[in-house]
């Protein structure tokens, strides 16, 4: 996880849950961290009950103050959970905002989108990983066309539409084309992040882009962002990857912030132990979903207990153990990606394999 909302008035970080509310999914994407992971069977077999979910929402409401808390529901596909709208309604009643969803397109029609809007859903993210042939290769046949349909639905419903692109060597040459497509169809936000070789992607280390090649790509992407903004494009282009801080100055990074609600700004850098937690569908807690290390269990434990007292999380937060990053001038706003380091080297304190410094 990287980048979190910060209250512009108080400077307080927005505490968030990235909640994988179900493991049910219509796709089995080739780069998904959920499938083929050691946690997948438990996620399927031990999905939290509605009562458990409400207990977690109550706990979250007590832990984080109004205006400084948010929940991002994902999965799997949240819409495949039968009681998802009950969970949304209960969350909305607790005045938790903003609410976001990252899911698939298949069950998103206009009626469903309008219902999501009524319950306070502010943003809906659907991935595009390339043009039709490449995207459908990663996801499944027909996914590309249905994703474009769903973006139209979101725009009609007044929910901010967000495109996420999972970057690998196989699709890197289509990144610029998807950026242009996002602008052309009027998406509210676009961002991308590197593939992490965990889960179904555990054998995809060769898809990690060489550091200097990645640096050149970031420069090319930023030039395209600037070109589109100069033409009046309304899409907000994001700088999610921590390594952006190595090629752009702070002013440039702050000038464009993807889908940030009014009254907030973004804090950059790895968020492990700083601003949020990832919760799996069985209640297991991780510091980052792509870093397969369990640090607690909800609702058996309290959120505050996990965040402040977990010995594993305290260890993960230690910057003095970072091999190269600990002495880097970009440490505070970067730290590299601990998940990619773990997936690539088996050590979360190792170098980010994408870093060129």
pLDDT at residue 147 greater than cutoff 70: yes
pLDDT at residue 42 greater than cutoff 60: yes
Query: Is the residue at 36 inside a domain?
Result: yes
C-alpha triplet 261, 267, 272: angle, nearest 5°: 115
Query: Is the residue at 194 inside a domain?
Result: yes
Which of these ranges, 237-246, 253-262, 295-304, has the smallest mean pLDDT? 253-262
How far apart are alpha carbons 176 and 253 in whole angstroms? Answer: 19
How far apart are alpha carbons 153 and 151 in whole angstroms? Answer: 5
Query: Is the residue at 342 inside a domain?
Result: no
How far apart are alpha carbons 16 and 316 in whole angstroms? Answer: 18
CA 49 vs CA 17, 52, 87, 156, 305: distances in Å: 18, 5, 10, 33, 21
DSSP conformation letters of 175-233: HHHHHHHHHHTT-SEEEEEE---SGGGTT-GGGSPPHHHHHHHHHHHHHHHHHHHHTT-
How far apart are alpha carbons 200 and 202 in whole angstroms? Answer: 6
Query: Is the residue at 324 inside a domain?
Result: no
Query: Is the residue at 355 inside a domain?
Result: no
The tens digit of pLDDT for each residue in 2-20 reads 566 666 666 666 899 999 9
pLDDT at residue 137 greater than cutoff 80: yes
What CATH number is associated with residue 293? 3.20.20.70
pLDDT at residue 251 greater than cutoff 70: no
pLDDT at residue 332 greater than cutoff 90: no
Q: Which pLDDT belongs to residue 273?
A: 86
Q: Which pLDDT belongs to residue 204?
A: 95
Is 178 in contact with 314 (CB distance < 8 Å)? Answer: no
pLDDT tier at 331, thresholds 50, 70, 90: confident
Strands 264-270, 69-74: pairing kind: unpaired
The tens digit of pLDDT for each residue in 183-228 reads 999 999 999 999 999 999 999 999 999 999 999 999 999 999 999 9
Query: Is the residue at 78 inside a domain?
Result: yes
Q: Which pLDDT belongs to residue 20?
A: 98
Mean pLDDT value of segment 22-38? 91
Q: Which pLDDT belongs to residue 271?
A: 80
Query: Is the residue at 37 inside a domain?
Result: yes
Which of these ranges, 40-49, 55-64, 181-190, 260-269, has the smallest mean pLDDT? 260-269
| Percent of the chain whose pLDDT exceeds 90 | 79
User: How many domains would you assign to the chain?
Assistant: 1
Mean pLDDT value of segment 300-317? 96
CA 18 vs CA 47, 229, 245, 260: distances in Å: 16, 30, 24, 16
Residue 168: give the domain boundaries: 2-317
pLDDT at residue 338 greater than cutoff 80: yes
Query: Is the residue at 100 inside a domain?
Result: yes
């Amino acid at each position: 996880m990287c980048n979190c909302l910060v209250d512009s008035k108080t400077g307080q970080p927005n505490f968030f849950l990235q909640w994988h509310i179900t493991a049910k999914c219509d796709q089995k994407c080739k780069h998904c961290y959920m499938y083929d992971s050691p946690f997948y069977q438990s996620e399927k077999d031990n999905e939290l009950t509605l009562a458990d979910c409400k207990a977690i929402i109550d706990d979250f409401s007590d832990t984080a103050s109004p205006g400084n808390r948010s929940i991002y529901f994902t999965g799997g596909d949240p819409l495949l959970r039968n009681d998802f709208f009950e969970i949304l309604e209960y969350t909305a009643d607790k005045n938790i905002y903003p609410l976001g969803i990252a899911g698939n397109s298949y069950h998103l029609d206009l009626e469903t989108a309008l219902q999501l809007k009524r319950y306070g859903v502010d943003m809906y993210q659907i991935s595009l990983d390339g043009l039709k042939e490449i995207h459908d290769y990663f996801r499944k046949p027909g996914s590309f066309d249905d994703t474009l349909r769903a973006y139209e639905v979101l725009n009609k419903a007044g929910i901010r539409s967000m495109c996420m692109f999972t970057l690998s060597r196989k699709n890197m040459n289509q990144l610029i084309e998807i950026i242009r497509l996002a602008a052309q169809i009027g998406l509210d936000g676009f961002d991308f992040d590197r593939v992490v070789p965990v889960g179904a992607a555990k054998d995809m280390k060769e898809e990690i882009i060489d550091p200097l090649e990645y640096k050149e790509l970031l420069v090319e992407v930023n030039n395209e962002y600037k070109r589109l903004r100069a033409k009046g494009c309304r899409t907000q282009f994001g700088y999610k990857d921590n390594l952006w801080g190595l090629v752009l100055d702070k002013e440039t990074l702050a000038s464009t912030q993807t889908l940030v609600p009014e009254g907030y700004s973004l804090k950059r850098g790895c968020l492990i132990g700083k601003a949020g937690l990832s919760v799996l569908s069985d209640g297991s807690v991780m510091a980052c979903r792509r870093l397969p290390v369990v640090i607690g269990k909800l609702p058996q434990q309290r959120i505050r207990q996990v965040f402040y007292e977990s010995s594993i999380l305290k260890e993960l937060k230690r910057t003095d153990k970072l091999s190269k990053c600990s002495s880097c001038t970009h440490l505070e706003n970067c730290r590299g990606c601990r998940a990619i380091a773990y997936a690539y080297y088996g050590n979360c304190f190792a170098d980010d394999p994408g870093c060129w410094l």
